Amino acid sequence: MRYRILAQLKKPHERVVCEIKHPSPAGTGVDLRGNLVGRVELTNTGKAVVARGAVGGSGRLTCSRCLKDFPWSFALEFTENCALRQVDDPAVYIAAEDEEDLVPIVDEELVDLSELVRQLVALEVPFQPLCKPDCRGLCPHCGAALDEEECRCSGEAVDPRWSKLKELLGQ
Ligand SMILES: [Zn+2]
Ligand SMILES: [Zn+2]
């Protein structure tokens, strides 16, 4: 997500539009398939570079209840304050704690939107993904996926491995 537009962006009140059609940056916490697509308008306000735009993509998540993979897609709009600082400069992250929280968007002589997009996508990924809002998950005793099969430990059914034990216990 690197663009040769740094010279234009250094001038205050300059506005540059970047089209996004790239594989997802690493570190978003989700396995995204294909390209992310979107559009980002960068404006140098004199104090920061304001990034305004939209980005979307799709991939697969694992349900936190039943552990099944399911398709997931997102589309988000954003307005973020960025700085013409090196994306991979560790000092940036330390400085960002006391200063304003500006996202770095420079890599050598190029504008690099990968850190901005990585942060936006990482925030969009659900903390506890669900394949559907009312997923009943797995039975804690027999591991049956409760939305798909009968729980094997419900009712009168007894696991044959346990019947010998029951005999020994005189039940
Ligand atoms: Zn589920
Ligand atoms: Zn069960």
Are residues 145 and 128 both part of a single domain? no
Q: Residue 95's pLDDT is what? A: 52
3-state secondary structure at position 39:
strand
| Cα–Cα distance measured from residue 138 to residue 140, given in angstroms and rounded to the nearest whole number | 6
Please indicate whether residue 133 or residue 29 has the higher confidence score (pLDDT): 133
Is the model's pLDDT at 21 over the cut of 80? yes
Q: What angle do CA 59, 60, 63 make, to 5 degrees?
A: 150
Residues flanking ion ligand 1, Cβ below 5 Å: 63, 65-66, 131, 135
Are residues 148 and 120 both part of a single domain? no
pLDDT digit string (tens) for 135-168? 999 998 888 999 988 887 865 555 566 666 667 7
Are residues 105 and 145 both part of a single domain? no
Are residues 63 and 110 both part of a single domain? yes
Are residues 94 and 162 both part of a single domain? no
Distance 157 CA to ligand 2 centre (A): 10
Distance 39 CA to ligand 1 centre (A): 33
Structural domain containing residue 107: 2-135
Are residues 131 and 171 both part of a single domain? no
| Cα–Cα distance measured from residue 101 to residue 80, given in angstroms and rounded to the nearest whole number | 9
Q: Residue 102's pLDDT is what? A: 86
Are residues 118 and 166 both part of a single domain? no
The whole-number average pLDDT for the span 20-47 is: 90
pLDDT digit string (tens) for 85-135? 888 765 555 555 555 678 889 988 999 999 999 999 989 999 999 999 999
Cα atoms in the Cβ-side hemisphere of radius 13 Å centred on 137: 8
Q: Residue 33's pLDDT is what? A: 86
Sign of CA dihedral 46, 48, 49, 52: negative
Overall number of domains in the chain: 2
Is the model's pLDDT at 7 over the cut of 60? yes
